[in-house]
Amino acid sequence: MAVTIRDVAREARVSVASVSRALNGSPAVTDETRQRIASIAQRLRYVPHSAARSLITKRTQTIGALLPDLYGEFFSELIRGIDLAARAKGLHLLVSSSHGDADEAAAALRAMQGRVDGMLILSPHVDAAFLRANLPESTPAVLLNSAFDSPQFDVLNIDNYGGAYAMTRHLLDAGHASVTFVGGPEDNFDAQQRERGYREAMAEFAPKAVAKVVAGDFSEESGYLAGRALAKNARPLPAVFAANDMMAVGCLRAFAESRLRVPQDVALAGFDDIPIARYVVPALTTVRVRIVDLGRRALECVAAAIEKPGRARGAAQTLACEVVVRASSGGEAKPSKPV
Amino acid sequence: MAVTIRDVAREARVSVASVSRALNGSPAVTDETRQRIASIAQRLRYVPHSAARSLITKRTQTIGALLPDLYGEFFSELIRGIDLAARAKGLHLLVSSSHGDADEAAAALRAMQGRVDGMLILSPHVDAAFLRANLPESTPAVLLNSAFDSPQFDVLNIDNYGGAYAMTRHLLDAGHASVTFVGGPEDNFDAQQRERGYREAMAEFAPKAVAKVVAGDFSEESGYLAGRALAKNARPLPAVFAANDMMAVGCLRAFAESRLRVPQDVALAGFDDIPIARYVVPALTTVRVRIVDLGRRALECVAAAIEKPGRARGAAQTLACEVVVRASSGGEAKPSKPV
DNA sequence: CGGCGGAATGTAAACGTTTTCATCCGGGTT
DNA sequence: AACCCGGATGAAAACGTTTACATTCCGCCG
């Protein structure tokens, strides 16, 4: 049915070995025969059978990506970065996303076994035991945004700490006497790091003020509730720094209901720079994370691990964030045109 | 190194054929031996080598998804739907996205050759010639949201026409004497269909009014410009229906600058129901498209084509949309809490 | 009691590559 | 002239499955 290496060999009057060599760029073949074989292969539309090749080379040229139940921009951007880098390296991308719990993730991980040369794993469910149980020893893997730190695996994290630290500092520098933090879920790694960044910046740059954290869970609703509670406090209000943009949007709604003007009565900042952040009124000051870079770096990292199997594992990299100042923090007045 | 079917066979004191049969559920094997083999396989952590299996069965259990340079919510939701359906069917998902032009898409399509049993293709660049040149005859493919209609391929479209028709009708029913349409890019299939839906609804439900279309290109900026132009018109202003939400957001900004109140002075609606639509003020009336369902249906469609190779191709399905009424059209006043 | 049929299992070919090893050939060295 | 060396090519094994076909075994019927 399909054209195989044999057909090309027959047509070119050489052995299959020569065809293989010619097409794979082995030096042990005359330029002239290489040309001839190449042109015949092209004419016949020969495409090497990837399964047969994988069988013998033990390489699939494929990277697996294991992702949790992820929504919106973050997911797209991450995949974009991974995909771009994979294409540049001639690798394919096998995706398995939308994993709600550890069991689903485990099943997905096992299902990928043997189909991929390496893995990119972003999941709140991973820990040492999970990986030992579900990931073959020999498969290189890069953990994304994971609290889990092991000499076995490379880890690539967002600098949540640094971003929150920088934002807190920015708010204090802008003249606010104090900053209140709206926290994320307690068991969330990102949330923990962001809170730590906030606390340390407060300790350093506002030693007289006291750090104050109100609870939240990253949802818009929890931000709304937090905002409503904060609006009752004594004036002047401290600046509010929400652990993510969705909660900041919730705060914004609560403040609007309480007839509080942002940023005149209360300054507000978020974290993530989701697209909505540019379009709420006033536009939200936030911390931007270059998700595309996260994906790209992750893929390059696992590709490197595949190429050099003996290489030391366990490198931990951190991806910098940047403060994006918009109208909501009062740092800059640009209410009309989105950035 | 890795454990193969031979190891299992040796351990179980049977032939490899029996192991294969037992693990693949062939009826020609005693329940007792099946049990024994299964437990040994599990103990040895045997996983069939997928490449070897593909080599002989000519199946990869993998679906390829070819996507253009897609951003945000649409991409995530689409992949989510595809992934969910794929998992349910035990299929893997090979993704190649971010294709800017036809050449890139062609290269990606060819690279997937032999690695997938079927393809999901969403790309403005596909047409008959493109597919003939880059897709093997035998590979089933489903085209998503494509103007190209051929008896060769299944096509799955969003009901842009019906959604725009329904929205226009909704605005007219709500008491607006006329509706002005802000169009999308001229060569865009979605935009064309939406405009057609608008025109036909106008002709049918507002025969005395005249359909009016101002140009746009789906960008927020083009919506802003359109909104500014419209704000100059004679009062009372007709309702404004933008061909997508981003342009509607742009209109909103222009109206705010012109001190026009929405919906009191001008009613506004968009299309897509992007997340931002809920958070702008006032919240945007729009047309919702169930992208997850699009992905799910597409995968089920290609899976069906793979299972029954002889089946008739060329079925065209259409995915219904629904009008989502929020504050911006004045149909319902719910300015505070997002839906 | 012999043969037959069907169920369970085994044997080996086939899938399409890559790669090791062998072969061949021409030319330079001794 | 004999030898060797190195470069180009070919033959065949190997990768780990599935499956067509062969074999074995056992009970049952004539």
pLDDT band at A338 (very low <50, low <70, confident <90, very high): very low
What nucleotide is nearest A17 when CA is compared to C1'?
A: D10
Measure the CA–CA gap between A199 and A170, rounded to whole angstroms: 14
Residue A334 pLDDT: 37
Inter-chain CB proximity B95 and A95 less than 8 Å: yes
Burial class (CB in 10 A: 0-12, 13-18, 19+), A27: exposed
- Partners of residue B1 in chain A, C-beta under 8 Å: 138
Which residues from A are below 8 Å from B49, CB to CB? Answer: 55, 114
> Would an 8 Å CB–CB cutoff place B4 in contact with chain A?
no
Give the per-residue pLDDT at A98: 86
A20: which 2 tokens?
Answer: 């293989």
pLDDT of residue A95: 97
* Residue numbers in B near A247 (CB within 8 A): none
Contact A93, B93 (CB under 8 A): no
Residue of A48, A95, A256 with shortest CB distance to B83: A95
Question: Encoding tokens for residue A8?
Answer: 């090309």
Per-domain residue ranges of chain A: 1-38, 61-158+291-318, 160-289+324-329
Q: A332 pLDDT exceeds 60?
A: no
Q: Do domains A61-158+291-318 and A160-289+324-329 have the same CATH topology?
A: yes
- Of A49, A76, A114, nearest to B70 by CB-CB distance is A76
Distance from CA of A332 to the nearest CA of B (A): 19
Per-residue confidence (pLDDT) for residue B331, from 0 to 100:
64
Residue B79 has its nearest CB partner, among A52, A95, A138, at A95
Distance CA B180, CA B172 (A): 11
Are the Cβ atoms of A49 and B70 closer than 8 angstroms? no
Which of A4, A87, A272, A336 would best serve as a mutation to test chain B binding (most B beta carbons within 10 A)?
A87
Q: Which residues contact A95 (CB under 8 A, 6 or more apart)?
A: A64, A65, A67, A79, B79, B83, B93, B94, B95
**Vertex A275: Cα angle to A220 and B246 (nearest 5):** 110
Binned at pLDDT 50, 70 and 90, residue B336 comes out as very low
- Neighbour tally for A161: CB within 10 Å: 21
pLDDT value of position A150: 78
Identify the residue whose tokens are 């045109």: A337
Q: A95 has which bridge partners?
A: A65
**DSSP state at residue B196:** H
CB atoms within 10 A of CB A101: 12
- SS3 at position A260: coil
- For residue A275, the chain B residues in CB contact (below 8 A) are 72, 275-276
Would you place residue B333 in the very low, low, confident or very high pLDDT band (cuts 50, 70, 90)? very low
Give the integer Cα–Cα distance in Å for A142 and A144.
Answer: 6
Chain A residues in contact with B99 (beta carbon < 8 A): none
A61-158+291-318: CATH superfamily: Response regulator (3.40.50.2300)
What mean pLDDT is predicted for residues A71-94?
Answer: 94
- For the stretch A184-203, pLDDT in tens is 999 889 999 999 999 999 99
Q: Is B309 helix (H, G, I), strand (E, B) or coil?
A: coil
Q: Are A60 and B51 in contact (CB < 8 Å)? A: yes
Mean pLDDT of all residues belonging to chain B: 92
Residues 74-133 of A with CB under 8 A from B: 75-76, 79-80, 83-84, 87, 92-98, 108, 110-115
Which CATH topology does A160-289+324-329 take? Rossmann fold (3.40.50)
Query: Residue A137 pLDDT > 90, yes or no?
Result: no
Partners of residue B319 on adjacent β-strands? B158
Which architecture does CATH list for A1-38?
Answer: Orthogonal Bundle (1.10)
Q: How confident is the model at residue B63 (pLDDT cuts 50, 70, 90)?
A: very high
CATH of B5-48 given 3.40.1110.10, 3.30.1490.20, 1.10.260.40, 3.65.10.10: 1.10.260.40
Instruction: Please say if the pLDDT value at position B334 is more than 50.
Output: no
> What is the model's pLDDT at position A330?
85
Mean pLDDT of A132-147: 90
Q: Are A72 and B338 inside 8 Å of each other by CB? A: no
Nearest-Cα distance to chain B for A153, in Å, is 21
The arrangement of strands across the sheet holding B62-68 comes to A316-319, A154-158, A141-144, A118-121, A62-68, A92-99, B92-99, B62-68, B118-121, B141-144, B154-158, B316-319
Footprint of strand D, using CB within 7 A?
A 13-18, 21, 27-30, 33, 52, 55-56; B 1-2, 4-6, 16-17, 20-21, 23-24, 46-49, 52-53, 55-57
Q: Is pLDDT of A311 > 80? A: no
User: Using CA of residue A113, residue A115, residue A121, residue A122, what is the dihedral sign?
Assistant: negative
Residue B32 CB burial class (10 angstroms; 0-12, 13-18, ≥19): exposed
State how far residue B202 is from chain A, nearest Cα, in angstroms. Answer: 31
B62-158+291-319 placed in CATH 2.60.40.420: no
pLDDT tens by residue, A228-284: 999 999 889 999 999 999 999 999 999 999 999 999 999 999 999 988 899 888 999
d(CA A171, CA A204) in angstroms, rounded, equals 13
Tell whether A339 is within 8 A of chain B (Cβ).
Answer: no
DSSP three-state, residue B59? coil
Of residues B281 and B85, the one with the higher pLDDT is B85
A259 touching B (Cβ < 8 Å): no
Does the CB of A40 have a partner CB in chain B at under 8 Å?
no
Note whether B72 contacts A: Cβ–Cβ < 8 A.
yes
For residue A277, CA distances in Å to A274, B281, B288 come to 6, 13, 22
d(CA A221, CA A117): 42
The confidence score (pLDDT) of residue A331 equals 65
When pLDDT is averaged across residues A107-115 and rounded to a whole number, the result is 94
Residue type, A24: N
Whether the CB of B49 is below 8 Å from some CB of chain A: the reply is: yes
B286 beta partners: B324
What residues of A are in contact with residue B60 (Cβ under 8 Å)? Answer: 51
Per-residue pLDDT reduced to its tens digit, B102-127:
999 999 999 999 999 999 999 888 88
Q: What is the rounded average pLDDT for all residues in chain A?
A: 92
Element (H, E) at A295: helix A291-307
Q: Is A139 helix (H, G, I), strand (E, B) or coil?
A: coil
Of B1 and B280, the structure prediction assigns the larger pLDDT to B280
